[in-house]
Chain A
Amino acid sequence: MSAYTLKVRRYQPESEEDDKRGAYWEKFDVELDPTLSVLDGLLQAKNDADGTLAVRCSCRAAICGSCGVKINGQSTLACKTQLGEAAEEAARKARTGDGDAEITVEPMGNMPVIKDLVTDMESTHWKKFRRVTPWLLPAGPPPEREYIVPAESMVDVTQSVACIQCGACVSSCLSMEADPEFVGPAALAKAYRFVGDPRDGQTTERLFDLANDPHGMYDCTHCFSCIDACPKDVAPMNQIMRLRRLAGDDHGIRDVNNGHSHEMAFVKNIRKKGTLDESLLFQESYAPGVKGKLLPRVSAIRGLLDSIPTAIRGIRTGKMRSIPKLIPGVHHKLPGDAQDHVKHIYERAEESKIQLNLYIIGEGGEEDASAEATEPESVEEESATA
């Protein structure tokens, strides 16, 4: 047993006390084993001290997805975060002046708060979720028995099927903060679940919609937040990258958002120069290749003009630090043979088409868990005779 203090961000919409009209902080002291969860702590506070403390929960085992919150600023599940670890993290943050010494618990971000730690997921997450047509659209009537599909294809989508719709990724998404309309990591992971399913008959249509949606998959900025937040290792960002690769490469979809060419501009840029050459990035994104340079389309010119304010903001806020970098040709090269190494990385990645899927490679990616999903010895027969 150890003592912990939980500093909870509260909101009691019906409170008549003056200091409790808006959101406020309240501290609760709890005594529990360090291996128990922050949810156990919250429930002890609720059970013993204050029954008005509102928090959604049910399974206590990171299965139902009810208890998404922010703990010490990180979006996660309350039932999956151990008190001991959370306290250590809080102490570390306090030492570096990064936060409080207490374990802080706040409602999820990017969603309106209903009461205390209970947020309105319907108006944010679920509404967007329905935008990706989240059900199977088979090509024709079903076969008499099961659909015959490769075993690996089912293992492949299992990573996104593992999503419990907790909203932690949505809460942590930086792009969502910038564009509240962004369909978001969880909905896109769900979209991959159908795109990757060979039984679905609308793969191209789905990819086309996702690519051309102005708040669709090209809104993601690869910030990794959702990967860090996700309690089920769904790695939404990876699913988004796979959607993009499928749309741009395999299905040749050129979206109206210039998302694909912007991404390709990055790829090309780094392959050639090793570090980002901003002057080329803009141009390549909107008017790729030699032809693009010589004969830019009207839409490309418009796109370029539209991005000028962004570029100016970048310079002003110091994000783009070297103004000469904006002049084509000034960008420096990597020293020595570093550029060859960069190219080599590209080749390796392309050769193996590495897909980050934990169901295939295992937690640590051990060598005995190789990249192919081969069937192990037949368990069926083994136990039938047991």
Chain B
Amino acid sequence: MPEHDVLVIGAGLAGQRAALAAAEKGVSVGIISKVHPVRSHSNAAQGGINAALDVDDSWESHAFDTIKGSDYLGDQDAIEVMCREAPDELLHLEHIGVTFHRNEKGELGTRAFGGASKARTYYVADITGQAIMHVLYEQLMKYADQIDRYEEWFTTDLAIDDEGRCVGAVTRNIKDGSTEMFKAKSVVLASGGNGQIWQPTTNALICTGDGIAMAYRAGATLMDMEMIQYHPTTLAGKGFLITEGARGEGAHLLNAKGERFMEKYAPNKMELASRDVVSRAEQTEINEGRGFPDGTVALDVTVVPRKRIHEALREIVLVGRDFAGVDITREPIHIKPGNHYTMGGVKTDIWGRTDVPGLYAAGEVACVSVHGGNRLGANSLLDTLIFGRRCGEDGAQHAKGHGFGQVSRTVLSDSESRVDEIIARQHEGGRRVSEIKAELGKTMDEKVAVFRDEEGIQSALDTVRRLKEEAKSVAIDDRGTIFNQDVLGAIELQNMLENAEACCMSALERKESRGAQYRTDYPERNDEEWLKHIDVSLNGGGPEISYSPVTITDWQPQERTY
């Protein structure tokens, strides 16, 4: 039974940062990831990371942009923490080796990003997430005597003791199928988002909301689950992302008539308005017949100087070439809004503490909430790092003051038998995992996307509940122990369905339009009734909705225009 003071589940940016911060406090750390850490989804982040580091910039300005971007649903105390601590975090990354872009003076240089009043996005070409994550992984290797890495281990359940404290996690070694009870004084969830619930999505196949579902089952509260970001520029059909950095470098959005339609929707910020605004504008153009026949509009990168494209947007040159057969330096590329980011997640305070003692959450799995109704581009990497570090620090502190909890003997065996039961199931006319997943993805993309209404969300919820039943009898082919990806797929499916149910319920509940939730049946923002978070938790077996207040400090809600 492996034992660690702090156990981190997930090794993307949030998880690796948490592990390093905890190790710096002198405690023993274990970090688990279902894929090799450098395969984590954080490496997909192309555009960059925000920080008000420039002498002419201020954390207040960054905070205001974030709050406005969130459509006033973000908690202002948490946003303040994130924006104040951003410059130091960025410098820390630079000091440990991230190869951030420099200006001609050799200082850190920035690029512009959507929804920001200043260019404060720092970046490494268009591989920022990868560049940062590989540097954190370098540090994990450097601190190998303090941090044990469990690479390709899959956590199936959290362990909760009789007093409701989180005391560890049950985890399966993918390489040989053995299951271990990991004991820990503090557990940090950093397992990423749930984009796979939608098809298509920019998210990787591993983004199945495992952590959200595990925490939910363990008694934690989920918050803002209806807030799902659709990114304005994804490749039709495949869901690949074209970074916002392209628009930051000056690219235009055009409809089929060649009009720069953002003039109508955001005359000041144009293509660099908040993502929810741009996605809605595109979808409106498409719905009203001004899109291309394939249901897209065009992104014109050719207006960016060729040399600048090669230097700063090389990754999307490759995406265009390899996945769309388009040379973006010579012709516009067809794009549309596509599922991208989970603003909601496991509810935490500004130290990443969840409602379950001993359990922390950071990164996309968590909802602090700094993104509220809509996340600004390049704020997510920042969120993972700031709150990852805070979880690591506070988790280490908590570990110093507590012993290992009592793990009930049945936790391990219950979890094991759940997995064994799936493996042993016989094919008796049940559906395949992939079929259910495909139906779920299509339903959510049709009904819980850019524009929503009661009828659609309700029918999505009905479908999700039916699929949940069907998932109970899916049978798989692989009965082995070594690299049984089949059984992991079935577990992920259950997790996804739990996430989807909470998302639909919250979307149904919020009877207004705010941020990413645009209800055609309630097209206005309604601060009087809905300036509050929607929480979901499991109570006596069934999901239950409640509300919590939005923390407002210095910035009163205003009308939101770009």
Question: B-contacting residues of A (Cβ < 8 Å)?
Answer: 12-14, 35, 47-48, 50-52, 54, 56-66, 80, 82, 114-115, 118, 121-122, 130, 134-136, 138, 142, 145-151, 154-155, 157-158, 161-162, 164-165, 197, 199, 358-360, 362-363, 366, 368-370, 373, 375-377, 379-380, 382-384, 386
Contact = CB atoms under 8 A, between A and B. Distances in A.
B314 A359 contact: yes
A164 B109 contact: no
Contacts of A136: 96-97, 135, 138
25 contacts: A14-B480, A14-B481, A51-B433, A51-B489, A56-B39, A60-B204, A61-B240, A62-B322, A63-B130, A65-B38, A66-B35, A66-B39, A118-B483, A121-B36, A135-B142, A151-B102, A155-B311, A157-B99, A158-B125, A161-B99, A164-B38, A197-B99, A368-B307, A369-B306, A373-B311
B481 A375 contact: no
B38 to A, nearest CB: 5
Interface stretch (B111-119, B281-289, B510-518, B551-559): B111-119
Interface in B141-196: 141-142, 151, 175
B276 to A, nearest CB: 19
B205 A162 contact: no
Contacts of B295: none
B401 interface: no
Contact of B105 (A115, A148, A366, A369): A148
B293 interface: no
Contact of B102 (A12, A121, A142, A154): A154
Interface residues of B, number: 80
Contact of B41 (A58, A138, A366): A58
A379 B477 contact: no
Given A151-B106, A161-B124, A384-B119, A54 B483 contact: yes
B308 A376 contact: yes
Interface in B285-311: 305-308, 310-311
A358 B307 contact: no
Given A54-B485, A122-B151, A148-B106, A59 B41 contact: yes
B97 to A, nearest CB: 4
Contacts of B40: 64
Instruction: Give the dominant DSSP class at A's interface.
Output: loop
B179 to A, nearest CB: 17
A147 B138 contact: no
B44 interface: yes
Nearest to A380: B119
Contact of B310 (A115, A146, A369): A369
Nearest to A155: B311
Given A51-B478, A151-B101, A358-B314, A366 B175 contact: no
B497 to A, nearest CB: 17
Contacts of B476: 51
B240 A13 contact: no
B219 interface: no
Contacts of A134: 138, 141
Nearest to B112: A383
B118 A384 contact: yes
Interface of B: 35-36, 38-41, 43-44, 91, 94-97, 99-112, 118-119, 124-125, 127, 130-131, 134-135, 138-139, 141-142, 151, 175, 204-206, 238, 240, 248-250, 268-270, 272, 305-308, 310-311, 314, 317-319, 322-323, 325, 432-434, 476-478, 480-483, 485-486, 489
- From B99, B124, B269, name the one whose CB has the most chain A CB atoms within 10 angstroms: B99
A214 to B, nearest CB: 23
Contacts of A138: 95
B322 A80 contact: yes
A96 B107 CA distance: 55
A379 B318 contact: no
Contacts of B310: 358-359, 362-363, 369
A379 B94 contact: no
Given A135-B97, A161-B99, A382-B250, A61 B106 contact: no
Q: Which 9 A-B pairs have the closest CB atoms?
A: A383-B112, A51-B477, A47-B434, A136-B97, A51-B486, A135-B138, A142-B95, A362-B310, A151-B102
B44 A114 contact: no
A122 B151 CA distance: 10
Contacts of A383: 112, 119, 248, 250, 272
Contacts of A63: 43-44, 130
Given A146-B95, A376-B311, 18 more contacts: A13-B482, A47-B432, A51-B477, A58-B205, A61-B240, A64-B40, A64-B41, A82-B322, A122-B151, A134-B141, A145-B91, A146-B91, A148-B106, A149-B102, A155-B311, A164-B38, A373-B311, A379-B111
Contacts of B94: 146-147
